[in-house]
């Protein structure tokens, strides 16, 4: 490990990665496709026009943390049906990332994905990136008992499920607000600052240990490149 990173990360045995806009560039625009399907779902659910669907969608996101949480609480939506529908998107925008794959292969310790999406979609994205083999464990929104990040309940379930010692874990995430619970639990925190975070959040350095722009680039710098 590069000596620059060893003091912060040399002790880490469990690496917890977010998925969307983290393992692939935010410019890929997958969330735009998911966002469109959310709007269409709400149009059908409420028999409303696109403008009203967008208003409802964003209101639920801001008032409940996720659109799904609001739909469940206020419209009794089945989360499995919703997640299957909105994640039924083509993945032709996702390019295989050989640099990321090489970095993950060299990264010592256990690699996990912790996502607010569901596992079938997450596995599809990992396979499209060419990195699925490097992630034996995946903690999705169902495993988090439908408590999305940054709700601490999902983090605690992750630690308990996989026997993770947070003092020997690092979390890599593009949403800075999602790193705060990880830091409070004792993890090292790495923020992927790539412009994907929506809203105006104060990025408190007390809960961000390291800021990077690209996961593959960071792994290459930290671990070296054999090619």
- What CATH number is associated with residue 161? 3.40.50.1000
Could you tell me if 55 and 104 lie in one domain?
Answer: no
Q: Does residue 195 have a pLDDT over 80? A: no
DSSP letter (8 states) at residue 178: G
**Average pLDDT over every residue of 27-43:** 95
Total count of domains within the chain: 2
Buried b / exposed e over 146-179, threshold 16 CB at 10 Å, is bbbbbbeebbebbbeeeebebeebbbbbbbbbbb
On whether residue 199 sits in a domain, the answer given is yes
Secondary-structure breakdown of the chain: helix, strand, coil percentages, each rounded to the nearest 5: 50, 10, 40
Pick the closest to residue 147 from 220, 211, 64, 42 (CA basis): 64
Strand partners, 137: 112
Look at residue 226 in the predicted model and tell me its pLDDT.
Answer: 57
What domain range includes position 50?
30-86
Q: Does residue 200 have a pLDDT over 50? A: no
Question: pLDDT-derived band of residue 227, with 50, 70 and 90 as boundaries?
Answer: low
Strand partners, 191: 173, 211
Q: Does residue 161 have a pLDDT over 60? A: yes
Could you tell me if 191 and 213 lie in one domain?
Answer: yes
Strand 169-173 to strand 14-17: parallel, antiparallel, or no bridges (unpaired)? parallel
Could you tell me if 130 and 59 lie in one domain?
Answer: no
Question: pLDDT-derived band of residue 198, with 50, 70 and 90 as boundaries?
Answer: low
Look at residue 63 in the predicted model and tell me its pLDDT.
Answer: 86
**Average pLDDT over every residue of 153-157:** 97
Domain boundary among 48, 66, 86: 86
Strand partners, 112: 16, 137
SS3 assignment, position 114: strand
Could you tell me if 19 and 59 lie in one domain?
Answer: no
Could you tell me if 159 and 117 lie in one domain?
Answer: yes
- What CATH number is associated with residue 37? 1.10.150
Q: Does residue 199 have a pLDDT over 50? A: no
Which are the contacts of 163, defined by CB distance < 8 A and separation ≥ 6? none
**Average pLDDT over every residue of 136-160:** 95
On whether residue 91 sits in a domain, the answer given is no
Q: Tell me: the pLDDT tens digits for 39-90? A: 999 999 999 999 999 999 999 988 887 899 899 999 999 999 999 999 999 9
Domain boundary among 43, 68, 86: 86
DSSP letter (8 states) at residue 17: E
């Amino acid at each position: 490990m590069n000596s620059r990173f060893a003091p912060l990360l040399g002790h880490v045995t469990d690496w917890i990665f977010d998925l969307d806009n983290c393992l692939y560039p935010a410019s890929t625009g997958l969330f735009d496709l998911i966002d469109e399907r959310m709007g269409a779902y709400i149009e059908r659910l409420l028999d409303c026009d696109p403008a009203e669907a967008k208003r409802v969608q964003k209101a639920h996101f801001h008032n409940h943390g996720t659109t799904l949480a609001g739909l469940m609480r206020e419209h009794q939506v089945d989360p499995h049906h919703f997640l299957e529908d909105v994640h039924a998107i083509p993945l032709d925008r996702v390019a295989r990332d050989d640099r990321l794959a090489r970095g993950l292969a060299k990264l010592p310790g256990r690699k996990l994905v912790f996502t607010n999406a569901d596992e079938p979609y997450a596995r599809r994205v990992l396979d499209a990136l060419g990195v699925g083999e490097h992630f034996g464990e995946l903690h999705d929104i169902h495993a988090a008992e439908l408590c999305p990040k940054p709700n601490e309940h999902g983090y605690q379930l992750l630690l308990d499920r996989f026997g993770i010692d947070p003092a020997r874990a690092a979390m890599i995430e593009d949403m800075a607000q999602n790193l705060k619970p990880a830091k409070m639990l004792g993890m090292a925190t790495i923020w992927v600052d790539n412009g994907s975070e929506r809203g105006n959040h104060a990025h408190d350095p007390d809960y961000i240990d390291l800021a990077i722009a690209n996961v593959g680039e960071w792994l290459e710098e930290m671990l070296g490149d054999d090619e």
